[in-house]
Amino acid sequence: MPRSADPQRRAELLRAVVRYLEERGVADMSLAPMAEALGTSKRMLLYYFGDRGELLAQAMAASRPDAGEIFDGVATADGFVAAAHTLWEAITRGRQRRSVSLLLQVLSLAITDPDTYQPYADDAVAVMLDPIAGALEGLGFGSDARVRATLVVSGLRGLCQDGLVTGDRARVDAAAERVIAAAVAP
């Protein structure tokens, strides 16, 4: 009978993989050099994560904020604004701030190598867009909810990129305030 995977070791490896990808990028991701840098073997990475694609998918999932949790229970426009601020804080100052560069890389790679990266890009957008659109639908925005959610997701993501490139935190934060307010404006 085969041994079952050690969940603690798997969680440790996943955290290390996320750090590795945040530091070195996704474009040239190769399991052998990654394993060596992490002090493990390619075989162990495959054992815990299946394949390169599944490893990337799990690293992305582990490194992003849980938009479903953040927007769960939003019942007012003020509640939505507060949830959106929580998301903005998470991706610019919180635990997930370093993972934004990972997300931006995957989205860019999906443009030039859609066969490899499009599924990960689609998932990265959907896991943010769906709960935000759901919250906006609950606020009565109906068919416009998905468009407004797109404004929030794409707007904040673009502002993250702007902030990473320019370092102009005050301007980018002010723009994020406007994006968030526009999402619930009549």
What does the pLDDT read at residue 103?
86
Q: How far apart are the first and last CA of the chain?
A: 61
Please indicate, yes or no, whether residues 42 and 95 belong to a single structural domain of this protein: no
Q: Look at the chain and report how many structural domains it folds into.
A: 2
- What is the dihedral angle through the alpha carbons of 82, 84, 90, 96, rounded to the nearest 10 degrees? 160
> Is residue 1 scored above 60 in pLDDT?
no
Q: Does one domain contain both 51 and 111?
A: no
Whether 1 is covered by a domain: the verdict is no
Residue 36 sits in the same domain as residue 119:
no
* Mean pLDDT of the region 77-99: 88
Average the pLDDT over 141-168 and give the result: 95
Q: Are 52 and 80 contained in the same domain?
A: no
CA distance 97 to 64: 9
Q: Are residues 125 and 159 in the same domain?
A: yes
Q: Do 73 and 138 have their domain in common?
A: yes
Report d(CA 130, CA 118) in Å as an integer. 18
Domain CATH number, residue 39: 1.10.10
What was the pLDDT predicted at 100?
A: 82
In a domain, 2, yes or no: no
Task: Count CB atoms within 10 A of the CB of residue 1.
Answer: 3
Q: Of all helices (H) and strands (E), which one includes residue 149?
A: helix 145-166
Is 170 domain-assigned? yes
160 neighbors 96 (Cβ within 8 angstroms):
no
Where in the sequence is the domain holding 162, given as residue range(s)? Answer: 64-184
Percent of the chain residues topping a pLDDT of 90: 58
Asked if residue 176 lies in contact with residue 88, where contact means CB atoms within 8 angstroms, the answer is: yes
- Tell me the pTM: 0.82
Domain match, 68 and 142 both? yes
Q: What's the average model confidence in pLDDT over 32-60? A: 89
